[in-house]
């Protein structure tokens, strides 16, 4: 068909147009055409939600290191200076003796090394799972970003194709209006033909204006999802034939729950909860640490001589703290942790049901949208044939102008519905892939 050939030529030229090569785009590079893959890659590096998730990972890593630092020696120093305005007095026999010096000072250097701590042991065992949980949050954010950016990309393309169809209709309708007006002026037809042409032309122009504004809004949505700076231009490139190839999906796939990041997140929480249960269960174990200190002391009756002579003391020892009785708190904490683990098991089972329902719904939508797309594809061909035949018959005076308007309206509706169906099936495919957990993101 002529229109199909025109569409293929137009989209092939878009494919061969230059595109941005890097994700870190400059003000000039975004003026070039960007493919879907480039938009997704840019979003995965610049979208605020993705960057926030990555920052949370860095914060979490620092928190883990801060907790594990308790295994390293803890060295501290304390300094004290005292001016005894009124010194202590004691009675020895019949005499009152003043004790101490007017000025006292001491510096205490102490190093502690934890030998065993239930808190630090939990932190050590949970570090790997905490990192995994943070990574899974980032992965979930990226998956949502890929889906949202892809849908926004397709939505813009849909509106652009709708605009192209309306532009073609306006050009065709303007010619028909001129022809009908000329025939009326020559007395061949009455004025209702060109009046109807005028009404149709105005309606199409209104649709064009609405579509142009919709493209602006859709572009703003995509720019926001990509994290593109405000005011920076965005032009898209796409291959229509490739888009059609991307429609197809293997509908025989079975749901593998382990592929879903939400399932993986609950499993990670379950592992962390198991560590918490063991932590409370072993809460009766003592805390042990070794220490060494060095404490030089200074005292004098005058401040100027205070630091002339030091009287140091030093010690090394072992400290052990044993929780003897806590009023049953440890047992209740164990019970709470076990119940929380059971709650996670129930949540995991419920998530499996939700994932299966989500997949069945997405698959049903995809199959319906795919069937609609096939039917509407055929409708476009039929509507083009009908319009071309009626156009020839109208020119020969066999058909009325009303018949031509109806045929043209049917053609325009079929074309617009076709691209709506194309967008729906592409969006449905993304929903199926997300339900299956097969959307790949950069780790």
**pLDDT score for 333:** 92
pLDDT tens-digit map of 156-206: 988 998 898 899 888 888 887 787 788 777 776 677 777 887 888 898 899
pLDDT tens-digit map of 296-305: 999 988 888 8
Tell me, yes or no, whether 274 lies in a domain.
yes
Q: In CATH, what number is assigned to the domain containing residue 151?
A: 1.20.1600.10
Please say if the pLDDT value at position 399 is more than 90: no
**pLDDT score for 189:** 67
Tell me, yes or no, whether 362 lies in a domain.
yes
**Residue 192 and residue 314 in one domain:** no
Q: Taking the model in full, what pTM does it have?
A: 0.81
Task: Please give the Cα distance from 34 to 232 (Å, whole number).
Answer: 13
Tell me, yes or no, whether 441 lies in a domain.
no
Nearest alpha-carbon partner for 53 in 137, 146, 148, 131: 137
Nearest alpha-carbon partner for 423 in 169, 247, 248: 247
Tell me, yes or no, whether 174 lies in a domain.
yes
**Residue 203 and residue 258 in one domain:** yes
Task: Please give the Cα distance from 119 to 420 (Å, whole number).
Answer: 58
Task: Please give the Cα distance from 256 to 252 (Å, whole number).
Answer: 13
Lowest mean pLDDT among 29-38, 44-53, 83-92, 136-145: 29-38
Q: Which residues contact 412 (CB under 8 A, 6 or more apart)?
A: 165, 166, 169, 204
Give the dihedral of Cα atoms 61, 66, 69, 70; nearest 10 deg: -130
Q: For residues 191 and 184, is the Cβ–Cβ distance under 8 A?
A: yes
Please say if the pLDDT value at position 440 is more than 80: yes
Boundary of a domain, candidates 264, 297, 321: 321
Q: Give the whole-number percent of the chain exceeding pLDDT 90.
A: 57
**Residue 279 and residue 291 in one domain:** no
Domain with 91, as residue range(s), is 77-115+287-321
**pLDDT score for 19:** 37
User: Which of 23-37, 61-75, 390-404 has the highest average model confidence (pLDDT)?
Assistant: 61-75
Q: Give the whole-number percent of the chain exceeding pLDDT 70.
A: 92
- In the structure, what pLDDT confidence band is assigned to residue 44 with cuts at 50, 70 and 90? very high
**Residue 195 and residue 83 in one domain:** no
**Residue 124 and residue 42 in one domain:** yes
Tell me, yes or no, whether 363 lies in a domain.
yes
Exposed/middle/buried for 174, CB within 10 Å: 0-12, 13-18, 19+?
middle
Lowest mean pLDDT among 127-131, 241-245, 327-331, 342-346: 241-245
**pLDDT score for 403:** 84
For residue 172, how many other CB atoms are within 10 A of its CB? 17
pLDDT tens-digit map of 6-31: 333 333 333 333 333 333 344 334 44
**Residue 257 and residue 386 in one domain:** yes
Task: Please give the Cα distance from 121 to 236 (Å, whole number).
Answer: 53
- In the structure, what pLDDT confidence band is assigned to residue 240 with cuts at 50, 70 and 90? confident
**pLDDT score for 406:** 87
**pLDDT score for 29:** 44
Boundary of a domain, candidates 321, 347, 380: 321
Longest dimension (CA), the chain: 145
Lowest mean pLDDT among 4-8, 97-101, 145-149, 279-283: 4-8
**Residue 360 and residue 251 in one domain:** yes
**Residue 99 and residue 219 in one domain:** no
Exposed/middle/buried for 406, CB within 10 Å: 0-12, 13-18, 19+?
middle
**Residue 273 and residue 345 in one domain:** yes
Q: Which alpha helices (H) appear in 96-117, and where do they start and end?
A: none
Tell me, yes or no, whether 442 lies in a domain.
no
**Residue 99 and residue 165 in one domain:** no
What integer best gives the mean pLDDT of the chain?
86
Boundary of a domain, candidates 321, 336, 366: 321
- The residue count of the chain comes to 443
Tell me, yes or no, whether 314 lies in a domain.
yes
Lowest mean pLDDT among 4-8, 194-198, 205-209, 259-263: 4-8
Lowest mean pLDDT among 80-89, 240-249, 342-351: 240-249
**Residue 317 and residue 336 in one domain:** no
**Residue 132 and residue 98 in one domain:** no
Q: How many domains is the chain partitioned into structurally?
A: 2
Q: For residues 232 and 180, is the Cβ–Cβ distance under 8 A?
A: no
Q: For residues 265 and 319, is the Cβ–Cβ distance under 8 A?
A: no
Tell me, yes or no, whether 245 lies in a domain.
yes
């Amino acid at each position: 068909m002529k229109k199909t050939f025109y569409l293929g030529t137009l989209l092939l030229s878009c494919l061969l147009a230059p595109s941005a090569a890097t994700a870190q785009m400059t003000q000039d590079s975004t003026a070039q055409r960007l493919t879907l893959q480039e938009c997704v890659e840019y979003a995965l590096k610049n979208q605020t939600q993705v960057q926030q998730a990555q920052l949370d990972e860095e914060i979490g890593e620092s928190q883990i290191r801060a907790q594990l630092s308790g295994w390293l020696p803890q060295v501290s120093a304390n300094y004290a200076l005292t001016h005894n305005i009124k010194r202590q007095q004691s009675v020895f026999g019949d005499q009152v003796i003043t004790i101490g010096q007017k000025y006292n000072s001491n510096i205490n250097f102490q190093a502690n090394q934890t030998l065993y701590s239930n808190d630090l042991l939990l932190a050590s065992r949970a570090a790997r799972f905490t990192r995994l949980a943070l990574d899974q949050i980032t992965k979930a954010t990226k998956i949502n970003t890929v889906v949202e950016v892809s849908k926004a990309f397709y939505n813009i393309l849909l509106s652009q194709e709708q605009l192209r169809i309306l532009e073609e209709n306006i050009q065709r309708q303007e010619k028909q209006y001129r022809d009908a007006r000329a025939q009326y002026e020559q007395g061949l037809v009455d004025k209702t033909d060109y009046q109807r042409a005028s009404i149709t032309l105005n309606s199409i122009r209104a649709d064009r204006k609405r579509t142009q504004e919709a493209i602006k809004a859709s572009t703003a949505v995509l720019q926001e999802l990509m994290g593109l700076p405000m005011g920076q231009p965005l032009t898209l490139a796409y291959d229509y034939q490739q888009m059609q190839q991307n429609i197809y999906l293997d509908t025989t796939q079975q749901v593998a729950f382990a592929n879903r990041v939400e399932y993986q997140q609950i499993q990670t929480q379950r592992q962390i909860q198991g560590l918490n249960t063991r932590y409370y269960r072993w809460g009766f174990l003592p805390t042990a640490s070794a220490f060494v200190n060095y404490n030089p002391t200074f005292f004098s009756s005058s401040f100027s001589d205070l630091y002339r002579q030091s009287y140091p003391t030093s010690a090394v020892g072992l400290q052990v703290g044993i929780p003897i009785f806590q009023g049953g708190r440890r047992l209740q904490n164990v019970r709470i942790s076990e119940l929380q683990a059971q709650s996670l098991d129930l949540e995991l089972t419920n998530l499996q049901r939700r994932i299966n329902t989500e997949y069945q719904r997405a698959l049903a939508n995809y199959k319906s949208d795919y069937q609609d797309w096939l039917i509407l594809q055929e409708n476009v061909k039929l509507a083009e044939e009908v319009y071309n035949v009626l156009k020839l018959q109208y020119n020969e005076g066999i058909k009325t102008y009303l018949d031509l308007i109806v045929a043209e309206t049917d053609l325009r509706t079929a074309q617009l519905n076709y691209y709506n169906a194309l967008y729906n099936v592409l969006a449905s495919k993304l929903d199926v892939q997300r339900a299956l957990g097969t959307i790949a993101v950069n780790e």
